[in-house]
Amino acid sequence: MIRRLLLCCRGEIALRFIRTCRLMGVETVAAYPAEDDGHPYVLAADQRFPIEAASAGSAMAEVLQVARLARVDAIAPGYGPLAENAEFAAACAEAGFIFVGPRPEAIRQSGDKLRAREAACLAGVPVIPGGHPGDGLEQSLDLAREIGFPVLIKAVMGGGGRGIRVVEAPEAFAGALDEVRSEALSAFGCGDVYLERFLGTSIRHIEVQVLGDKHGNVLHLGDRGCSVQRRRQKLVEEAPAPGLDAALRNELRLAALAIARQLGYDSAGTVEFLVAGDGRFYFIEMNARIQVEHPVTEAITGIDLVEQMIHVAGGGRLSLRQDDIEFRGHAVEFRLCAEDPRNQFFPAAGRVASYAVPEGEGVRLDSGVASGVAQSPRFDSLCAKLIVHQSSRERALARASHALGEFRLFGFPTNVPFHHWLLEQPQFRDGSYDLSLLEDFELPPERLHAVDRRAVFAAALATALAGVAGRRAEGSATVSGWKLRNDPLLAAGARG
């Protein structure tokens, strides 16, 4: 039984866990980076302990020390950097704490892309042609030629769009191989790579949510479409995935269950596929954690995934059967990030000068920010997630357009103008889009200035009067007196 839970994650996912824990009567403890002092999730936790670690690896010891001091029963990493760290999961168990996530061996198998491919093959699920290239360049190049160019070089322990390169021709292979190995070693502590045939971008990214317990029960909670991506990172997700016929949808769900059972999976996780235009699909990876996009699944099923994770981590059996799960309506999630869509989605930073959120039936906002808090360049650019659930996809997109129009965040650029652009694209609106959707993305001029200028000026003035502008995050882009005088958009607002 879990009565007190330590959170070693931050932002909106930490706050998401806290909300469910309150409903379950579970106390929460936040282990947080000191620069997050005053953030909503820190204030919402029942207890809070700042930590100084600059990396996930160095944070492990500090997190376990906080767990001992706070006398917690369990530790939840959310989808933070410790979420898919098998060594951390094992260390939690060795120290006497329940890890809210899958068992260490399931994390190892799913996190290692080659072992995950083997599990998929054993489960009878198709994988993309490819394999491990060995250590030598010539051996690697021979395998690449055998697969056929263009090929993908991928980090064995990669994720989040990092540690991956497309190589179009043999002469570019050696340099790309060195780059991926170096990036993988730096990001994941392992420089091992493997090769896959590159299937192009006229293909869809579909994933299936699975949920298991420690008693051998595994369910699926439907599928999600995740083909709106920039730099191989998702920006918009929806459930159910559009453009699938009933037979293909069922095949994908059964394939996901087969892989989860092959791995002995015992928590919330996601099995990911690429789906070609002719209906053929291929397993690509499994994420052994709760996903950023889990709210769209919660919306259409009515199931609290965080509650289920905590329940099964404590040894509880799944109270659901597959036949109990019903899918109602359509849900879409928009990731609201501190990024400038006018500048290739370059990450932004600063302090939130003014903040207003949309409300109404079928609208949910999972947010990690509030007025006055800093968006640090040290962390992921995700600020909030707008989730819209309606009876149909058409109604969900219409409601999303209004909700995005009501969202206000001033102090640094966000990708909201991109989402407005997306909702106007015919391919997205009719659900026929694939990974090629953003290949030629360029924000039209009218979207560059689709902002309430008086609100911008009011936010800047309020910031200056409150003295917030002087307390910027490192590398911030907080509105300043210079910016008021020189930024044409703010100057226009000042002129009224």
- 45 strand-pairing partners: none
d(CA 102, CA 254): 20
d(CA 191, CA 72): 35
d(CA 225, CA 399): 19
In sequence order, the 6+-apart residues with CB closer than 8 A to the CB of 361 are none
By the 8 A CB rule, do 212 and 220 touch?
A: no
By the 8 A CB rule, do 273 and 281 touch?
A: yes
Residues 212, 262, 13: CA angle, nearest 5 degrees: 40
Can you read off the two tokens belonging to residue 264? 């002995």
Q: How are the residues of the chain apportioned to helix, strand and coil, as percentages rounded to the nearest 5? A: 40, 25, 35
User: What are the C-alpha distances in Å from 439 to residues 231, 357, 375?
Assistant: 10, 30, 28
In sequence order, the 6+-apart residues with CB closer than 8 A to the CB of 208 are 220, 222, 223, 224, 252, 253, 255, 256, 270, 271, 273
Catalytic residue among 253, 289, 335, 393: 289
By the 8 A CB rule, do 15 and 366 touch?
A: yes
Q: How many residues does the chain have?
A: 496
d(CA 106, CA 116): 10
Tokens 């009501």 belong to which residue? Answer: 406
d(CA 123, CA 201): 26
What's the one-letter identity of residue 261? R
247: how many CB neighbours lie within 10 A of its CB? 9
Instruction: Give φ, ψ of 270 to 5 degrees.
Output: -135, 130
- 375 strand-pairing partners: 350
Chain centre distance of CA 232: 11
By the 8 A CB rule, do 203 and 434 touch?
A: yes
Active site includes 289? yes
Q: Angle between the 173-188 and 137-147 helix axes, to the nearest 10 degrees?
A: 110
Of 227, 172, 219, nearest to 201 by C-alpha is: 227
In sequence order, the 6+-apart residues with CB closer than 8 A to the CB of 135 are none
By the 8 A CB rule, do 246 and 279 touch?
A: no
Catalytically annotated residues: 289
